[in-house]
């Protein structure tokens, strides 16, 4: 990671959907998500387009409801293990929405959001787990408040509203890889 909070091994695609964290906010939560656009389809340009604010609402019927929604994540890990970073880790990405973790609301203020290209009903790839584990170890070294107990799924922050990373995310496998 460089001094500005960009992962050196990731492609940079700066999102306009971010801002400064509140003064004094310590980064101490890692949130795991999943995303596919359109749902269940992988590899296209649509995730970039969503996070960069250029999603064409006419390109697919599903996009009509989400085009123009200001949303971002810090990092996306594609199915092939490629990393794309949209927001430097020190800034606030807009990934968690209305959220609460261990009694503390506004999780975007103090968290890092990582999207895995995937869906609730399809297993993630081996390389995604490997890359996620490597990135997690790097983040835990840089942000000491992120511990095993401070890693959660989006579903943990917004129960009843969000389901990701979903039932096919293997938490045991992931936690074994991060040590």
What is the SS3 assignment for 12?
A: strand
Dist CA 129 CA 64 (whole Å): 32
What residues does 148 pair with on adjacent strands? none
Residues 17/51, Cβ–Cβ less than 8 Å: yes
Dist CA 1 CA 101 (whole Å): 26
Dist CA 157 CA 99 (whole Å): 5
Taking each continuous run of H as one helix and of E as one strand, the counts in the chain are 4, 10
What single-letter DSSP state applies at residue 91?
A: S
Choosing from 41, 91, 105, 115, which is the catalytic residue? 115
Is 91 among the residues known to form the active site? no
User: Helices 171-178 and 126-142: crossing angle, nearest 10°?
Assistant: 50
Q: How many residues does the chain have?
A: 179
Active site residues: 115
């Amino acid at each position: 990671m460089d001094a500005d909070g960009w992962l050196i091994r990731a492609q940079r695609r700066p999102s306009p959907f971010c801002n400064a964290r509140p003064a004094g906010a310590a980064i101490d939560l890692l949130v795991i998500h999943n995303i596919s656009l359109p749902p269940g389809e992988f590899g296209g340009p649509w995730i970039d387009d969503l996070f960069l604010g250029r999603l064409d609402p006419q390109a697919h019927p599903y996009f009509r409801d989400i085009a123009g929604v200001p949303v971002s994540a810090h990092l996306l890990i594609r199915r092939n293990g490629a990393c794309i970073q949209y927001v430097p880790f020190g800034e606030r990405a807009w990934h968690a929405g209305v959220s609460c973790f261990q009694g503390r609301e506004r999780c975007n203020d103090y968290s890092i959001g990582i999207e895995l290209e995937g869906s609730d009903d399809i297993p993630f790839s081996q390389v995604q787990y490997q890359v996620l584990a490597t990135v997690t170890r790097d983040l835990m070294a840089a942000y000491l408040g992120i511990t095993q107990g401070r890693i959660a799924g989006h579903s943990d922050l917004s129960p009843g509203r969000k389901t990701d990373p979903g039932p096919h995310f293997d938490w045991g496998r992931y936690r074994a890889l991060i040590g």
